[in-house]
A and B are shown apart, each in its own frame.
Chain A
């Protein structure tokens, strides 16, 4: 019998993502962990959510894990195949109509205490040490929707000031978004990493540790965060149900496109 109690931090992260999604929500995902998490949500926690991607494919239910948001794997199993501009119109109108159902998952290379995210380049923008793809859909998503930000939890990634702001978070704190001309009633609501979950203080808009995994600890989070982080409100998060881990490994990502099973399980 395969062992499904030996979950990895990535699997824990995917399950944590899944638990953020509620029935009735419209969920913007990319590929990778958010898609795995949303697939878990759709099967277990929130069967009545709608998964959408920035290419314009709406209400997606892929059989095999797609590699791109424009992948035929999304396209063949969705409700509507909109061009991208319709997706943009939809995300913007969700804000104009002041609905609360849209939640989005974005990723980044660096993040600051206010949830401003860099996915453009490391180092000087004009002479970067490392250049990434560029914004993709992330900037538009961070403009108009509440976001859950996926990060690898490392000191060099959680820093006081990011090298380039690609997607606006809470800017410099309370009122920052409004001053920049951005919708003030939208913004980052959570950061999910391989060590825990961070939220943003209602008053200061600064990141604090909300939850840590059985495999991590508040001390571990402090050690791997490049700015001061309040851990006084942190709670221990539950280990994932082995049945959910089985589902990820056997049904959702059997090809291990985004989540590798632990070495002890490989034949």
Chain B
């Protein structure tokens, strides 16, 4: 059965207001930007979710007021924007329901979800304000369906009395948004380079949207199953979206678009300029192909990585 559809169809069918959403990728690597843009275009909102190591993906959702509650561990376009600016501004102004966990905690929570565990015992965050201070109070938590009423619960290790551990809730993910290098119509995915938490959220989510650089046949992707990491049955929609992670990186395909990330860095300094950026690059752009046309062929070609180096560079300027 083919799950191939357009990005517009995938988002309207599988993303709903109020969803618990988790996005794949890592800060400026393999972030599914094209799908985020489409979610914004369709006006979807009230999301609850975990950032994982987030960047512009969650910053866009926050800046466009689409987030009801955000479990944060790190939000930055590292190396360009050291702290994502809408994230920072919204939190500083008290406009964002946000909880802080350590990155290890959130990544293990997503992994625990993939394993179907009822809760997660850890020794992380002990002795710190990550436990002592709750970003979202119990009262507010009780008003948000998709958030557990407690940030965490202390417990005694049942196998080692006296050993204090922290029990964390396991997220119940509605929708996972992932960008991969190759997928086939039945949903089988091949991720090149680090998978990050993407396989975990594909397994754990009720619905999973995959965008891919290359759409290959079901037979072709099975020629070397050792390269495949997501089972077709975990995926609901497959969308062919070349450069779908732009302006972030995609291993073996393209580097981050530093100039674009810098443009976003400057634009996101104020809400007004941020909104103008969103109008120009998201709302006034009909779809992903119009976005690629706007970026231009030569700009995209220059982002292609040099095989062997793993990044893009102008070889005529490399040291001889």
- Residues facing B in A144-173 (CB within 8 A) are 164-168, 171
> How many residue pairs at the A-B interface have CB separations less than 8 Å?
185
Candidates A68, A75, A133; contact of B28 at CB < 8 Å? A68
The answer on a CB contact under 8 Å between B53 and A131 is no
Instruction: Give the CA-CA distance A183 to B197 in the complex, in Å.
Output: 27
B27 at the interface (CB under 8 A from A): yes
User: Is A9 in contact with chain B by the CB < 8 A criterion?
Assistant: no
Pick the interface stretch among B118-126, B174-182, B203-211, B220-228.
Answer: B118-126
CB of A139 within 8 A of CB of B125, answer yes
B79 touches A73 (CB 8 A): no
B290 to chain A, nearest CB (A): 27
Q: Are A128 and B92 in contact (CB under 8 A)?
A: yes
The winner among A127, A129, A130, A134 for most chain B CB atoms within 10 A is: A134
From B26, B84, B129, B256, A164 is in contact (CB under 8 Å) with B129
**Any B CB within 8 A of the CB of A64:** yes
Asked if B107 and A77 sit within 8 Å, CB to CB, the answer is no
Do A83 and B127 have beta carbons less than 8 Å apart?
A: no
Q: Which residue of A lies closest to B55 (CB)?
A: A68
Q: How far is the CB of A81 from chain B (nearest CB, A)?
A: 5
Determine the chain A residues whose CB is within 8 A of the CB of B251 once the complex forms. 72, 75-76
In the complex, A66→B104 CA distance in Å? 21
Contact with A along B104-141 (1 / 0, CB 8 A): 11011001000000000001111111101101000000
Q: Is the CB of B74 within 8 A of A177?
A: no
Q: Which residues of A contact B135 (CB under 8 A)?
A: 125
A56-B194, A72-B311 known; A136+B83 contact, CB < 8 A: no
Residue-wise, chain A 220-231 has the 8 Å CB interface mask toward B (1 for contact) of 000000000000
Closest to A162 in B: B129
Question: Interface size on B (CB < 8 Å)?
Answer: 61
Residues in B neighbouring A165, C-beta threshold 8 A: 127-129, 132
Would you list which residues of chain B between 49 and 107 have a CB under 8 Å from chain A?
53, 72-76, 78-80, 82-84, 87-88, 91-92, 94, 100-105, 107
Known: A31-B79, A139-B124, A143-B123. A64 touches B313 (CB 8 A): yes
A248 CB → nearest B CB, Å: 16
Residues of B within 8 A of A57 (CB): 194
A120 engages B195 (CB within 8 Å): no
| Distance in angstroms between the alpha carbons of A129 and B89 in the assembled complex | 10
> Which of B126, B130, B310, B313 is the one whose CB lies under 8 Å from A75?
B310
| Chain A: minimal CB distance from B184 (Å) | 22
Binary per-residue interface labels of chain B (275-317) against chain A in the complex, 1 for a CB within 8 Å, 0 otherwise: 0000000000000000000000000000001000111010000
Interface contact A70-B313, CB-CB below 8 Å: no
Task: Give bound CA distance, A133 to B107, whole Å.
Answer: 16
With a CB–CB cut-off of 8 A, which chain A residues contact B126?
Answer: 143, 168, 180-182
**Distance of B196 from chain A, by nearest CB (Å):** 6
- Contact-residue bracket for chain A: 35 or more
- Chain B residues, Cβ within 8 Å of A116: 128
Give B155-183 as 1s and 0s: 1 = Cβ < 8 Å from A's Cβ atoms. 00000000111000000000000000000
Proximity string of chain B (183-207) to chain A, C-beta cutoff 8 Å, 1 when within and 0 when not: 0000000000111110110000000
Chain A 175-207, CB-CB to B under 8 Å as 1, else 0, gives 011001111000000000000000000000000
Shortest Cβ distance from residue A166 to the other chain B in the assembled complex, whole angstroms: 6
Give the residues in chain B near A75, CB-CB below 8 Å: 29, 193-194, 251, 310
- Please name 5 further chain A to chain B contacts, defined as beta carbons within 8 Å, in addition to the given A83-B200, A165-B127, A166-B129, sorted by A numbering: A31-B79, A68-B28, A70-B25, A72-B251, A120-B100
Q: List 25 A-B contacts (CB under 8 A).
A: A54-B103, A64-B313, A68-B29, A70-B53, A71-B28, A72-B305, A76-B251, A77-B310, A83-B199, A83-B200, A85-B111, A125-B135, A132-B88, A134-B75, A134-B100, A134-B103, A136-B74, A139-B125, A143-B123, A143-B124, A164-B129, A166-B129, A181-B163, A182-B127, A183-B123
Which residues of B pack against A, CB within 8 Å? 25-29, 53, 72-76, 78-80, 82-84, 87-88, 91-92, 94, 100-105, 107-108, 111, 123-130, 132-133, 135, 163-165, 193-197, 199-200, 249, 251, 255-256, 305, 309-311, 313
User: Which 7 pairs across A and B sit closest by C-beta, in order of nearness?
Assistant: A76-B310, A67-B79, A180-B127, A70-B26, A140-B104, A139-B102, A68-B78
